[in-house]
A = this chain, B = another copy of it.
Amino acid sequence: MKDIARRAGVSESAVSFALNDRPGVSEITRDRVRRVAEQLGWRPSTAARALSGEGAATVGLVLARPATTLGVDSFFLQLISGIQEVLSERQLGLLFQVVEDVDAECAVYRRWWAEHRVDGVLVVDPRTDDPRPALLDELGLPGVVIGGLPEEHPNLSQVRADDTGAMAHVVGRLHELGHRRIVHIAGLSSLAHTDRRIRSLRAEAERRGLAEVRSVPTDYSDTQGAAVTRRVLTSGSRPTALVYDNDVMAAAGAAVVTGLGLSVPGDVSVVSWEDSVLCRMVHPFLTALSRDPVTFGRIAAQELTALLDGGAARSVHVPLPELIERESTAAPR
Contact = CB atoms under 8 A, between A and B. Distances in A.
Given A46-B116, A111-B43, A252 B281 contact: yes
A114 B37 CA distance: 13
B77 A81 contact: no
Given A51-B47, A88-B97, A93-B97, A72 B74 contact: yes
Contacts of A280: 222
Given A50-B47, A96-B94, A115-B45, A78 B84 contact: no
A252 B277 CA distance: 9
Given A74-B71, A94-B97, A48 B45 contact: no
Given A222-B277, A276-B71, A278-B278, A93 B95 contact: yes
Given A67-B78, A77-B77, A248 B46 contact: no
Chain copies in complex: 2
Interface residues of A, number: 54
A81 B93 contact: no
A25 interface: no
Contact of A281 (B67, B93, B255): B255
A248 B247 CA distance: 14
A243 B85 CA distance: 36
Q: What are the 3 tightest A-B residue pairs by CB atom distance, in nearest-first order? A: A71-B74, A47-B50, A43-B114
19 contacts: A43-B111, A43-B114, A44-B115, A45-B116, A46-B117, A47-B48, A47-B51, A47-B116, A58-B95, A67-B85, A71-B74, A71-B276, A72-B277, A80-B98, A93-B95, A94-B96, A222-B277, A251-B281, A252-B277
Interface of A: 41, 43-48, 50-51, 56, 58, 67, 70-78, 80-82, 84-85, 88, 91, 93-99, 111, 114-117, 222, 248, 251-252, 255, 276-278, 280-283, 293-294
